[in-house]
């Protein structure tokens, strides 16, 4: 019973040392609900992982934004899951739509990455989501099912997996999914897990929403029964990220 609310801040390719320090100071000074109410994960670019980890309050966690599909070696520019373990980074975001579309990451490649990271003990936020064209042609759930299947086929334990539903049309556009739209897909995705993995995994796996979440729209989204948290881009660089973290209390008061 009870999927703990999770709020991730995906900083994407943003920040300077000065900005990182400023954001972390704001986070560290904030009063937020306790760790048993909300799990907060901050995901800076690779180069700032160690800095953020060294400065960040201990009740918040750090995630990388990607990692290589296997162990390290002659893979110029890549970072291995082993390196994340070595740095004490417990989480990684995989399969973000920006990597799928701009860097041609396929469903199979993302599935392989998820399986490998988990095998090394790194927890995974795995992203799925449809484009506007796919939504308009009524293939949203089909797309998400295929993306999720590529992960499901490669893993046997979902304990350390969080699914992030991030409709591509909502990312960075200011065009957030309505609470009803988000709930509909989260509910269908949970049903997919029930039918294709197990009822237990469907019940316990957190499905978080991402795409233009901000301090104003987070509460209504958080109130939806199958929305278990957020993956936040732009607003995670701003003080309103704290309001998004606090929206976890909507669940507790429900
Ligand atoms: O891609 C996202 C989080 O991973 C969402 O980005 P925005 O919140 O900027 O729309």
What ranges do the domains of the chain cover? 5-253
ipTM above 0.90, yes or no: yes
- What DSSP line would sit under 18-51, residue for residue? HHHHHHHHHHHH-----TTTEEEEEE--GGGHHH
In angstroms, what is the span from residue 139 Cα to ligand 1's centroid?
A: 22
Q: Are 27 and 60 in contact (CB under 8 A)?
A: yes
CA 226 to CA 208: how far, in whole Å? Answer: 8
Q: Find out whether the beta carbon of 232 lies less than 6 Å from any atom of ligand 1.
A: yes
Q: Find out whether the beta carbon of 176 lies less than 6 Å from any atom of ligand 1.
A: no
Catalytic residue set: 96, 166
Compute the chain's Rg from CA coordinates.
Answer: 17
CA 240 to CA 84: how far, in whole Å? Answer: 28
In angstroms, what is the span from residue 70 Cα to ligand 1's centroid?
A: 26
Task: Report, at the CATH architecture level, how domain 5-253 is classified.
Answer: Alpha-Beta Barrel (3.20)
CA 88 to CA 64: how far, in whole Å? Answer: 11
Provide the residue-wise pLDDT of the chain in tens; the chain has 254 residues: 589 999 999 999 999 999 999 999 999 999 999 999 999 999 999 999 999 999 999 999 999 999 999 999 999 999 999 999 999 999 999 999 999 999 999 999 999 999 999 999 999 999 999 999 999 999 999 999 999 999 999 999 999 999 999 999 999 999 999 999 999 999 999 999 999 999 999 999 999 999 999 999 999 999 999 999 999 999 999 999 999 999 999 986 65
């Amino acid at each position: 019973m009870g999927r703990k609310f999770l709020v991730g801040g995906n900083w994407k390719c943003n920040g300077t040392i000065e900005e990182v320090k400023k954001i972390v100071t704001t986070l560290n000074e904030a009063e937020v609900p306790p760790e048993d109410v909300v799990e907060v994960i901050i995901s800076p670019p690779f180069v700032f992982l160690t800095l953020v980890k060294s400065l960040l309050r201990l009740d918040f966690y750090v995630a990388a934004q990607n990692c290589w599909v296997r162990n390290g070696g002659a893979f110029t520019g890549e970072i291995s899951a082993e390196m994340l373990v070595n740095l004490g980074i417990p989480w990684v975001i995989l399969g973000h739509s920006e990597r799928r579309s701009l860097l041609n990451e396929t469903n199979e490649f993302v599935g392989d990455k998820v399986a490998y990271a988990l095998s090394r003990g790194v927890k995974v936020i795995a992203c799925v989501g449809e484009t506007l064209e796919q939504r308009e042609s009524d293939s949203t759930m089909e797309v998400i099912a295929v993306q999720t299947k590529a992960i499901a086929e490669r893993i046997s334990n979902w304990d350390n997996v969080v699914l992030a539903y991030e409709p591509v049309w909502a990312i960075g556009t200011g065009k957030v999914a309505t609470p009803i739209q988000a709930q509909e897909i989260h509910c269908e995705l949970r049903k997919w897990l029930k039918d294709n993995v197990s009822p237990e995994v469907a019940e316990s796996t957190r499905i978080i929403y991402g795409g233009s979440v901000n301090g104003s729209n987070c509460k209504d989204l958080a109130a939806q029964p199958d929305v278990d948290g957020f993956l936040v881009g732009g607003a995670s660089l701003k003080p309103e990220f704290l309001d998004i973290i606090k929206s976890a209390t909507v669940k507790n008061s429900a």
